[in-house]
Amino acid sequence: MLIRVVPAGIIRRYVEERDWEVSAGFTIRGLIALLAIPAELKLMVFVNGKRKDENAIIENGNEVRLITLLSGG
């Protein structure tokens, strides 16, 4: 199945926007591992515009947007 990955912010240093071929039943957690995003980066993930957790299953044709959470004070 084909999905579209769209990084935003700091994530663009590690991942470019492009289509990825993944197997059926692939999860967001699996995608993050596949993309080798550093664990110290805290992410929000949106699939087709809706926020999802790491256990959500990605379906064919989904757009997955990865956004870095920022902190400060």
pLDDT one-digit tens code per residue, 34-61: 999 888 888 999 999 999 999 999 999 9
At residue 72 the predicted structure's pLDDT band, cuts being 50, 70 and 90, is low
Reported pTM: 0.89
| Mean pLDDT for the stretch of residues 5-23 | 93
Sheet holding 63-68, edge to edge: 18-21, 2-8, 63-68, 43-47, 50-52
Q: What is the CA radius of gyration of the chain?
A: 12
Structural domain includes residue 39: yes
Structural domain includes residue 46: yes
Looking at residue 51, its pLDDT comes to 97
Looking at residue 39, its pLDDT comes to 83
Structural domain includes residue 21: yes
Structural domain includes residue 40: yes
Q: How many domains does the chain have?
A: 1
Query: 52: domain range?
Result: 2-68
**C-beta pairs of 18-25 under 8 Å, 24+ apart in sequence:** 22/58, 24/60, 25/57
Return the CATH number at 28. Answer: 3.10.20.30
- Mean pLDDT (the chain) is 92
Structural domain includes residue 73: no
Structural domain includes residue 50: yes
